[in-house]
Amino acid sequence: MTDREEWQKSRTYTPEVLGLARAVLEEVRRGRAVDQAVRRHPGPQGGYLPKHALVAAYRGLVESGEWAEDPALLARIRMKPVRTLSGVTTVTVLTKPYPCPADCLFCPSDVRMPKSYLPDEPGARRGLEHGYDPYGQVSSRLVALQAVGHPVDKVELLILGGTWSAYRRDYQEWFVQRCFDALNGRDSTTLVEAHQINETAPSRNVGLVIETRPDEINPAELAWLRRLGVTKLQMGAQSLDDHILSLNRRGHTVAQTHQAVALLRAAGFKIVLHWMPNLLGATLESDRQDFARLWDDLCPDELKIYPTQLLANADLYGYWQRGEYLPYTMEELVGLVADIKPTIPPYCRVNRVIRDIPSDNVVAGNKRTSLRLDIQGELARRGTTCRCIRCREVRQQQVDLEHLRLDDLVYPAGGAEEHFISFVTPQDHLAGFLRLSLPGPHSPQTGLADLEGAAIIREVHVFGQSLQVGAEQHGAAQHTGLGTRLLGQAEEIARQHGFARLAVIAAVGTRRYYQERGFDNGKLYLVKSV
Inter-residue long-range contacts of 524-529, CB under 8 Å, 24+ positions, other chains counted: 524/223, 524/226, 524/227, 524/448, 524/450, 525/226, 525/268, 525/448, 525/450, 525/451, 527/450, 527/454, 527/501, 527/502, 527/503, 528/491, 528/501, 528/502, 529/500, 529/501, 529/502
The stretches of 185-329 forming alpha helices (DSSP H) are 191-198, 219-228, 242-247, 254-266, 284-292, 316-321
| C-beta of residue 130 within 8 angstroms of C-beta of residue 137 | yes
| C-beta of residue 95 within 8 angstroms of C-beta of residue 126 | no
Residue 134 has a pLDDT of 97
Domain coverage including residue 228: 221-392
Picking from 185, 187, 190, 258, the residue whose alpha carbon sits closest to that of residue 229 is 190
Answer yes or no: do 236 and 357 share one domain.
Answer: yes
State how far the Cα of 366 lies from the Cα of 294, in Å rounded to an integer. 24
Answer yes or no: do 357 and 410 share one domain.
Answer: no
Answer yes or no: do 72 and 92 share one domain.
Answer: no
Query: Which of 330, 365, 392 is where one domain is finished?
Result: 392
Query: Which of 77, 100, 118 is where one domain is finished?
Result: 77
CATH code for position 429: 3.40.630.30
* β-bridge partners, 233: 210, 271
β-pairing verdict for 405-413 and 349-352: unpaired
Answer yes or no: do 268 and 181 share one domain.
Answer: no
Answer yes or no: do 154 and 204 share one domain.
Answer: yes
β-pairing verdict for 89-94 and 416-424: unpaired
Residue 28 has a pLDDT of 84
Query: What is the Rg, in whole angstroms, of the alpha carbon atoms belonging to the chain?
Result: 24
Burial (CB count within 10 angstroms: exposed 0-12, middle 13-18, buried 19+), residue 314: buried
β-pairing verdict for 232-238 and 204-212: parallel
Query: Which of 371, 392, 413 is where one domain is finished?
Result: 392
Picking from 425, 405, 335, 343, the residue whose alpha carbon sits closest to that of residue 371 is 335
Answer yes or no: do 448 and 388 share one domain.
Answer: no
State how far the Cα of 398 lies from the Cα of 148, in Å rounded to an integer. 23
List C-alpha distances in Å: 250 to 103, 237, 240, 272, 276: 7, 9, 11, 18, 12
Answer yes or no: do 408 and 525 share one domain.
Answer: yes
Answer yes or no: do 433 and 385 share one domain.
Answer: no
* DSSP 8-state assignment for residue 375: H
Answer yes or no: do 42 and 169 share one domain.
Answer: no
Residue 409 has a pLDDT of 98
CATH code for position 367: 3.30.750.200
Answer yes or no: do 259 and 382 share one domain.
Answer: yes
Residue 468 has a pLDDT of 44
State how far the Cα of 270 lies from the Cα of 277, in Å rounded to an integer. 23
Per-residue pLDDT 10s for the chain (530 aa) are 444 444 455 557 788 888 888 888 888 888 888 877 887 888 776 677 777 788 888 888 888 888 888 877 877 776 554 444 456 899 999 999 998 888 999 998 888 999 889 988 878 888 999 999 999 999 999 988 887 778 899 999 999 998 999 999 999 999 999 999 999 999 999 999 999 999 999 999 999 999 999 999 999 999 999 999 999 999 999 999 999 999 999 999 999 999 999 999 999 999 999 999 999 999 999 999 999 999 999 999 999 999 999 999 999 999 999 999 999 999 999 999 999 999 999 999 999 999 888 888 999 888 887 899 999 999 999 999 999 999 999 976 778 889 999 999 999 999 999 999 999 999 999 999 999 999 999 999 999 999 999 999 999 999 864 344 444 444 445 557 899 999 999 999 999 999 999 999 999 999 999 999 999 999 999 999 99
Answer yes or no: do 24 and 155 share one domain.
Answer: no
Residue 80 has a pLDDT of 54
| C-beta of residue 76 within 8 angstroms of C-beta of residue 86 | no
- As for how many domains the chain has, the answer is 4
Answer yes or no: do 235 and 354 share one domain.
Answer: yes
